[in-house]
Structure 1
Amino acid sequence: MTDTPVSEMSFEDAMAELERVVGTLESGDASLDDSIRLYERGAELRKRCADELRRAEEKVAAITLDEQGQPKGVQPLDPA
């Protein structure tokens, strides 16, 4: 586990650490206190990954296509 703030992690780094956290929790080798700390870190990492995926999906959804189906630009998202 790193000490990097979750908010500063890339999606890939957050996902890799989340996988390590889950592996450690599943192994049952951590003490109760460590397990609680890992669970809290895992929850933060999961939220970071979910937020990053949502942002990526919104960007993809905003791409507009021309008559031939080729990308021609982006349109503003309607946050409603």
Structure 2
Amino acid sequence: MTDTPVDQMSFEQAMKELEAVVSQLERGDVALDQSITLYERGALLKKRCEDELKRAEEKVAAITLDGDGTPTGTKPVEGM
């Protein structure tokens, strides 16, 4: 686990750490208290990944194309 606050992580950082957390929990070789801490961190990491994916999907959905399929710009996405 890193000391980086979850809300400051990129999608890639959060996903990498989430994979490490899941791996530790699956091995089952950590104490109960540490398992709870890992689970809580994993839940935050999962939410961060979901939020970042949603934000990326909204950006992609906002790209406008001209008649030839060429991107012409983006439309503002509500809340962004």
Q: Would the TM-score normalized by the shorter structure come out above 0.5? A: yes
1:14-53 alignment runs, 5 A limit? 14-53=14-53
Q: Provide the residue aligned with 2:73 in structure 1.
A: 73
In 2: Cα distance, 1:2 partner to 1:73 partner: 37
* Structure 2: tracts of 5 or more residues without a match: none
% identical equivalent positions: 68
* Residue 59 of structure 2 corresponds to residue 62 of structure 1: no
Alignment length, in residue pairs? Answer: 79
* Structure 1: tracts of 5 or more residues without a match: none
Aligned to 2:73, the other structure's residue is in SS state strand
TM-score normalised by L of structure 1? 0.94
How far has the Cα of 1:78 moved from its partner? Answer: 4.4
Aligned to 2:51, the other structure's residue is in SS state helix
* Residue 10 of structure 2 corresponds to residue 10 of structure 1: yes
RMSD: 1.0
How far has the Cα of 1:77 moved from its partner? Answer: 2.1
